[in-house]
Chains A and B, each alone.
Chain A
Amino acid sequence: MQPVTRLTVPALRGISLEVEPGEVLAAVGANGAGKSTLLRILTTLLIPTRGGARVCGFDVAREPAKVRLQIGYHTGGDACFYSRLTARENLLLFGGLNNISDAEASRRIAELTEPFGLGELLDRQVRTLSTGNIHRLGLARAMLHRPSVLLLDEPTRSLDPLAAAEFRRFLLEDIVRVHGTTLIFASHTLAEVEQLAGRIAVMDNGRLLGCDTLAGLKSAAGAATLEESLAVLTSRASREAQ
């Protein structure tokens, strides 16, 4: 995948990886490494200028509507809803835009209410919700149409430590283990990556430096921690580039 233009620098170069159904993959790396670009290509928000990507067998550039049917997408930002509408109105709107009937969307909202802890929040305007609750709502929106793949960009960015821990528990236990959803997320929080990811893709300057289990990465880097592994792999890559 290579989303480049003549006007800007290449955001991704020569990345090749495959994620199995039900797997949890984390993309880690410094700012500008290309993590968000990778996710945005998979969501069809970006079109790669060279190479390609497939989600559940559908090409992101040629079959974007089919890809979007397979994915749920949530970012860590909290300004991603219509703040003057209630949580329920927002969910019904996005459900409708995903071709879900009102009756089906209401059923799904009822199903998601308990695991997402949305009960009392549903009929409140979004502007009155806390950041943590907006995150839950964002995840509920991403899951409303039962996607096979969940793409999260820095999902706990603006959560306090307790809310982040609860959010991670929820992701792992309810979304991945119970529903079998494939999870691909980008994060700067290494503890989160260690807790959630089955495999970790280490990125730097648009390149994939390694993609393996935590143990595999540590072994490849000869390091004791994920943090050390990242440092070793990154400095090794920059030495090779010189």
Chain B
Amino acid sequence: MSRSTQFALTLRKLALLFLRDLAVARSYRSAFIIEIFQALFGSATFYFLSRFVSSPALDKSLPPGTNYFSFALVGVAFFDYLSVALSTFDASLQEARQNGTLEHLLVTQTSLPVILAGSSLYPFVLMSLSTAIYFGWGAVLFGFPLRQANWLGALLVLGASVLAFSGLGILSASYLLIFKRGNPVNWAILGLSTVVGGMMYPVSVLPVWLQYVARLIPVTYSLEGMRAAILGHASTLELLPSIGALLLFAVILLPISFAIFSWALRRTKITGTLTHF
């Protein structure tokens, strides 16, 4: 089979897995409506919080041209991509184990990495939809500045972020393959990223040594890039440092995480614990 045929087959499998999740989601019709209103409540909360905490000193510490509402909304919305990346591979593995489909998926002509990648597509697309709804409510009701955003730049930052975060997600799934429950990888990355990643406050307010730590995690670059693209109207050229840093994380993390995942998968196939949970 030629490489182009294999590539086409892989794309088709990714689409099939996405459509599977979409069909399952459509069978729970109320979930989407709940999502829309959840985004409204989320936007409203950040808006009123920003009115409460807003002060000239705070505005001064934020990037130029932003207020705390838009700063926090972008931070929370895009931080959730990290949460999704960290949880989606684990969740799809757990779900397949629990509904008994894992063995049957694994005896097909589709490798486990492709199954996990395909199973992560729907959560990422749903996350993007959810972010759009957040921003939509924010723009319509609370003056979130959408019009001057560099959307192409934001998409590039998002793509690089998803690649970088996915490396962490695959590491997390490797842990789950071996240890089944509890996930310190997930916990440590999310915890550290929440504190130093700049989700709710700028990295510049951290002690200097923590600012150095912030430079070692991808979410910092992702949030900086996103805010620059959406709120700071930065050109795509100006976003290159953030995108480059994220791609560097991806280039380092993806091969390492795939190697660890392959080792974990082989080990569970030897110990016979692949489908245990």
Binding site for B on A (CB under 8 A): 3, 5, 7-8, 11, 37, 40, 43-47, 49, 65, 68-69, 71, 73, 75, 77, 79-85, 89, 92-94, 96-99, 125, 141
Q: How far is the CA of A84 from the CA of B272 in the complex (A)?
A: 29
Please state if A80 and B107 are interface contacts (CB–CB under 8 Å).
no
Instruction: With A73-B107, A97-B109 as known contacts, state yes or no: A46 contacts B269, CB within 8 Å.
Output: yes
For B269, the chain A residues whose CB sits under 8 A away are 45-47
Q: Check: B23 CB closer than 8 A to any chain A CB.
A: yes
Please state if A45 and B103 are interface contacts (CB–CB under 8 Å).
yes
Please state if B104 and A80 are interface contacts (CB–CB under 8 Å).
yes
Binding site for A on B (CB under 8 A): 9, 12-13, 16-17, 20, 23-24, 27-28, 99-101, 103-110, 115, 266, 269-272, 274-275
For A8, the chain B residues whose CB sits under 8 A away are 271-272
For A99, the chain B residues whose CB sits under 8 A away are 9, 109
Q: How far is the CA of A77 from the CA of B275 in the complex (A)?
A: 14
B contacts with A: majority SS: helix
Please state if A80 and B109 are interface contacts (CB–CB under 8 Å).
no
Q: Give the residue of A69, A89, A93 whose beta carbon is less than 8 angstroms from that of B109.
A: A69
Please state if A83 and B99 are interface contacts (CB–CB under 8 Å).
yes
A contacts with B: majority SS: loop
Please state if A5 and B16 are interface contacts (CB–CB under 8 Å).
no
Cβ of B203 to closest chain A Cβ, rounded Å: 43
Cβ of B4 to closest chain A Cβ, rounded Å: 14
Q: Give the residue of A7, A68, A81, A93 whose beta carbon is less than 8 angstroms from that of B107.
A: A68
Q: How far is the CA of A82 from the CA of B103 in the complex (A)?
A: 13
Please state if A98 and B272 are interface contacts (CB–CB under 8 Å).
no
For B272, the chain A residues whose CB sits under 8 A away are 3, 8, 11, 37, 40, 46
Cβ of A158 to closest chain B Cβ, rounded Å: 12
Cβ of B1 to closest chain A Cβ, rounded Å: 9
